[in-house]
Amino acid sequence: MGPKLVDYLTYEPEESGILWIKFNRPDRLNALVGTAEENGTVAKVGEYMRAGDDDPNVRVIVLTGVGRVFCAGADLRSRAPADVTSAVTAAATRSSPAAAGMLMTPPPAASGATPRAAPTTIVATPHATAS
């Protein structure tokens, strides 16, 4: 069974063994929703990655963004003024949403999961422009 889906992230497994997880807010430059709360983008990326890692058919997870931008960072417009400082601090302490999602992933013993012999490969594909 897959993760509980949200509209701001896609979860697209392919028969080839590739799972595409995509930030899906191109109108907001794929800015993160919330911080680490249950339905925030960072928590959901971790949930999606754990679901992909638990699926024996998934061999590679690719994290990317829909549209022209990978991820613009925290969406401060959606935050209440009191939460802005904590949102900026949280965003600044994470190197990327992919890393943040991996940091939130509990070790197999803590989650009750049995590790596979070959762990799933995770690839992040930030958009880049030529100079």
Is 42 part of any domain?
yes
pLDDT at 117 over 70: no
Is 2 part of any domain?
no
Is 30 part of any domain?
yes
Question: How far is the C-alpha of 84 from the C-alpha of 90, rounded, in Å?
Answer: 10
Kindly indicate the confidence band of residue 75, based on its pLDDT and cuts at 50, 70 and 90. confident
Is 91 part of any domain?
yes
Domain tally, the chain: 1
pLDDT at 105 over 50: no
Is 87 part of any domain?
yes
> Pick from 61, 59, 75: which is nearest to 105 by CA?
61
The confidence score (pLDDT) of residue 123 equals 76
CATH number at residue 44: 3.30.300.220
**Range of 30's domain?**
9-124
The confidence score (pLDDT) of residue 122 equals 73
pLDDT digits (tens, 9 = 90+) for 29-48: 999 988 667 788 989 999 99
Is 4 part of any domain?
no
